Amino acid sequence: MKEESIEILVSNDDGFRAQGIRELTEALRPLGNVTVVAPDGPRSGASAAITSTLPIKLKLRHREEGVTIYSCTGTPADCVKLALNTIFKERKPDLLVTGVNHGNNAGICVIYSGTVGAAMEGCVSDVPSLAVSLDDHSEICDMSHATAYAARVSRMILQNGLPHDTMLSMNVPQGKPLGLRVCMVTDGRFVDEFMTSEDARGNAVYWMTGRQINKGTVEGDLELMRAGYVTLSPIKLNMTSRRYLPELERLINEGI
Amino acid sequence: MKEESIEILVSNDDGFRAQGIRELTEALRPLGNVTVVAPDGPRSGASAAITSTLPIKLKLRHREEGVTIYSCTGTPADCVKLALNTIFKERKPDLLVTGVNHGNNAGICVIYSGTVGAAMEGCVSDVPSLAVSLDDHSEICDMSHATAYAARVSRMILQNGLPHDTMLSMNVPQGKPLGLRVCMVTDGRFVDEFMTSEDARGNAVYWMTGRQINKGTVEGDLELMRAGYVTLSPIKLNMTSRRYLPELERLINEGI
């Protein structure tokens, strides 16, 4: 089954030692050669952040037949950017898969997630990219369904490609999924966002917490994942609101 | 002119001491009360990153009639999130303006920018939000045109509002602008992205550098800004590619 000519780049935001990326790597091995370039430690919530004022480094961690693992001192997006500019300078990978993230990235998490941010960076460079997230924050959890669906969708991407500047984001529920559903990203937001506490000197400190709600009218990835489905949503890199362009132009032309 | 009832939140990614945010604050004072909540130091390239594993703090730095300034230990998005959950818990601000960023955020920079990321966070909470960026990385530069256009568009937003989950991103060229143009965000990407160097022990290190190119066919904010115009682009928070949804659904239903 293994196609020697297929090259797959793998990254994440939980760091190269996380269970999610280790099991994802094993699941993708039958599809091609896997190169992991992932942060040297946790970078949850890193979004598409990049490191522009400090130098970053790559470190070879492991090499065996079909799998090579590097750690990087930068953000998830840095990892992908640097991999594409060094290891894959001569030939782009055929596929980028990020994750499996420990925690879902449904709804508004798309903009906060380092796992999605890393996949966006692949998309910037026209590498077909998939972000995979499991709705379980535990460091040790059952990744088997997430990695099976990730491999299945990876095969589809390798066969069919993806449209220009479009990536996929997959969210996997806990337990055995009811099936795979293509859907919108939920218009979500977090509420009860901070827990207030004190530091050792009595100063107020704020810990991020909260839960996501759907603030729109469309049932999207958040609801379907919570209902037990694996969700798959296409994400467009260009965030321009084409719908509002003419109205904004009219307002500006009226001489605000 | 000053409307006492208008409350404006201001943030950035260059830190509360930067020239850009200081001059923006002065330019917005005629429109209402200004509250600055900005990072305690530079956070360029922070995207919409959030701090989820460490506590963050707020510090009151300055208070005078019509202007209150806080610094925050978190990311730009943290600043806005925390401001909306504490200072503005009872009543949301009427407007969020972020910047003036030292450096443009046209094209693909939309996904990397902390200035845009902070404005997105306002948008998440349904606060009309505007990100303002000047195409000049100098720490000291002429901010006069950028702040004048920022105030002008801020007035328009206060009068007309913005659509649900849509924010505006403005990019200002160096020198006297030729005018204001509403436009798409350019489908851009960076090339020549890293300078390779060595650390003191002889290990390879990578410094991010590069220049942005237009990889698409549409002339957008990058080209218009380079041609001397102030650009204004509407940014949609929900990144779902509605166009690709039916095709992806067909592929999945065919039983990949």
- Give mean pLDDT, residues B228-252: 96
C-beta atoms of B52 and A45 within 8 A: yes
User: For the packed helices B76-85 and B114-124, what is the interaxial angle rounded to 10 degrees?
Assistant: 30
CB burial of A194-228 (b: ≥16 within 10 Å; e: otherwise) equals: beeeeeeeeeebbebeeebbbbbeeebbbbbbbee
Longest CA–CA separation in chain A, Å: 65
Under the banding of pLDDT at 50, 70 and 90, the label for residue A163 is very high
* B3 token code pair: 């409307």
- B194/A contact by beta carbon, under 8 A: yes
* Chain centre to alpha carbon of residue A215: 23
Q: How confident is the model at residue B1 (pLDDT cuts 50, 70, 90)?
A: very low
Task: Give ipTM to 2 decimals.
Answer: 0.95
The pLDDT, as a whole number, for residue A256 is: 56
The 10s digit of each residue's pLDDT in A18-58 is: 999 999 999 999 999 999 999 999 999 999 999 999 999 99
How many alpha carbons lie under 13 Å from residue B137 in its C-beta half-sphere?
6
Which region, left, alpha or beta, applies to residue A180 given φ > 0 means left and ψ of -120 to 50 means alpha?
beta
Q: Given this model, what pLDDT does residue A138 score?
A: 93
- As given in the structure block, the two tokens for residue A23 are 């099991």
Indicate if the pLDDT at residue A214 is higher than 70.
yes
Question: Domain map of chain A by residue range?
Answer: 7-185+220-253, 186-216
Work out the percent of chain B whose per-residue pLDDT is above 90.
96
Q: Do B124 and A108 touch (CB under 8 A)?
A: yes
How does residue A1 score in pLDDT terms, banded at 50, 70 and 90? very low
Among the partner residues B86, B152, B256, nearest to A155 by beta-carbon distance: B256
In terms of CATH, what superfamily is B7-185+220-253? Survival protein SurE-like phosphatase/nucleotidase (3.40.1210.10)
Q: Is A139 on the interface with B (CB under 8 A)?
A: no
Interchain contact, B206 vs A82, CB within 8 Å: yes
First to last CA, chain B: 63
Length of chain A: 256
Residue range A116-142: mean pLDDT, rounded: 97
pLDDT for the residue numbered B228: 98
- Residues B238/A187, Cβ–Cβ less than 8 Å: yes
Contact list in A for residue B245 (CB cut-off 8 A) is 182-184, 234
What gap in Å lies between CA B108 and CA B59, rounded to an integer?
33
pLDDT of residue B38: 98
CB of B47 within 8 Å of a chain A CB? The answer is: yes
Q: Predicted confidence band at A255 (pLDDT cuts at 50, 70, 90)? A: confident
> For B187, which of A52, A165, A184 is closest by C-beta distance?
A165
